[in-house]
Amino acid sequence: MYFRRGMVELLAIKDFKSFSKNLDAIKKYGIASYIDFVEGIGKSFDLMSQLDFVRGVTFFQQESDGPLKVLEAMASREKLRALSINESSLGEKEIQQLTQLDMPSLRALDLHFNSLGDCLESLYRWPAASQLHWLNIDLNDFGGRHANITTEHILEFAGQKSLANLFSLSIAANSLAPIHMQAFSENAVMKRLTQLDLSSNPIEDDGIAAITKGGFKSLNILELSTTKITDEAVGLIAASSNMASLRRLNIGHNSKIGDPSLASIASSEYLGNLTHLNLARTGIGEAGAKALIDSETLVSMRHLNIGSAELSAPTLKALQKRYPRAVVKNPYD
């Protein structure tokens, strides 16, 4: 169980016996608004559909039609605000079934690690899409085997007015290329985003150039881990007034990022609001660390992950003194 403001907010169901035994109490007190089926069992699904107070549900590694049957039978489907169906082999058939359901209260949708392929059109034409604030479609092979077709679909997706209320988009690990970033930068819908996760896409420096010039003035969180970017891309971010709202920047796992990137960040007049900076598994060294130490603009830092950077003891001590309680040395992040 997970608590929010002293009340049980999320109930993780791992055992059918205990769930069924306590079902009456769960119904009576409505102790959890969000149900998480860590180990889904058909019987649990049937019982869960009877609960009329559920506002969010997560299905993980289920048979593709299992979650859809539960959703169709849910007593509180019209109240559902958050839905996650992860690693469940959803494809075109299942997405069409899903998008036929009426979910007027849905605000957050997580469909990461399925087989959506070319199903984007069905998603953004779903009436519920116009209400979404948060969307995660990571790991869905949008740019994989059908790269030529899906490139066109991604370009269409980027300009959909039906997504006008979206403020958070996670589209990591989908083989996105610089051309997709250009499409994002040319459409007002994408430029309203405050959170954008592009991790594990080969967008490279050209993709960053499109983003920094494209008017993404509202971005608070930008995830760029494993995107094949270099010091040039980080320099573009640091020099762009469009990035002035950034609070969290993740450029970890990019081996071609080194000390010049830290010099750019440390001296940027636009990145002074950064509170979180992830540099894990980059090529930072003594010079980059010293640039951070001497920075006059990075005054809000609360989390600075330097990964496994090999810094001398005096430099590490000075960095920790400059950013007390912020420096994290985590080689596995």
Q: Mark whether 100 and 186 lie in a shared domain.
A: yes
Residue 149 lies in a domain: yes
Structural domain boundaries enclosing 56: 1-88
Q: Identify how many contiguous H helices and E strands the chain contains and give both numbers.
A: 13, 14
Q: Mark whether 109 and 79 lie in a shared domain.
A: no
Structure tokens at 132: 């979404």
Residue 104 lies in a domain: yes
What is the total count of domains within the chain?
A: 2
Q: Mark whether 148 and 60 lie in a shared domain.
A: no
Q: Mark whether 100 and 225 lie in a shared domain.
A: yes
Q: Mark whether 219 and 318 lie in a shared domain.
A: yes
Q: Mark whether 111 and 158 lie in a shared domain.
A: yes
Q: What is the pLDDT along the chain (333 residues), one digit of tens a residue?
A: 666 677 666 666 667 787 788 788 777 766 656 666 555 566 777 777 888 888 888 888 777 677 888 899 888 899 999 999 998 888 888 999 999 999 999 999 999 999 887 788 899 999 999 999 999 999 987 755 544 445 777 888 888 999 999 999 999 999 899 999 999 998 888 889 999 999 999 999 999 999 999 889 999 999 999 999 999 999 999 999 999 999 999 999 999 999 999 999 999 999 999 999 999 999 999 999 999 999 999 999 999 999 999 999 999 999 999 999 999 987 666
Residue 227 lies in a domain: yes
Q: Mark whether 231 and 208 lie in a shared domain.
A: yes
7-13 and 2-4 beta bridge pairing: antiparallel
Q: Mark whether 184 and 265 lie in a shared domain.
A: yes
Structure tokens at 36: 């998480």
CB 328 within 8 Å of CB 304: yes
pTM score, whole prediction: 0.90
Q: Cα 199 vs. chain centroid, distance in angstroms?
A: 9
* pLDDT confidence of residue 254: 98
Helix (H) or strand (E) holding 134: strand 134-136
Which CATH number does the domain housing residue 251 bear?
3.80.10.10
* pLDDT confidence of residue 49: 80
Q: Mark whether 60 and 113 lie in a shared domain.
A: no
Which of 88, 103, 125 delimits the end of a domain? 88
Dihedral sign, Cα of residue 36, residue 173, residue 198, residue 105:
negative
* pLDDT confidence of residue 117: 75
Q: Mark whether 36 and 137 lie in a shared domain.
A: no
Q: Mark whether 40 and 78 lie in a shared domain.
A: yes
* pLDDT confidence of residue 149: 46
Instruction: Compute the distance between CA of residue 51 and CA of residue 53 in angstroms, rounded to an integer.
Output: 6
User: Residue 223 gets which letter from DSSP?
Assistant: E
CB 294 within 8 Å of CB 268: no
**Rg of the chain, C-alpha, whole Å:** 22
Which of 58, 88, 118 delimits the end of a domain? 88
Q: Mark whether 153 and 270 lie in a shared domain.
A: yes
Residue 333 lies in a domain: no
Which of 88, 117, 142 delimits the end of a domain? 88
Residue 108 lies in a domain: yes
Residues 6+ apart with CB under 8 A from 60: 36, 37, 38, 40, 84, 86, 87, 88
Q: Note every long-range contact of 41-47, with CB atoms under 8 Å and residues 24 or more positions apart, other chains counting.
A: 41/16, 42/66, 43/16, 44/13, 44/16, 44/19, 44/20, 45/69, 45/70, 46/70, 46/73, 47/19, 47/20, 47/23
Structure tokens at 221: 């969180």
Residue 141 lies in a domain: yes
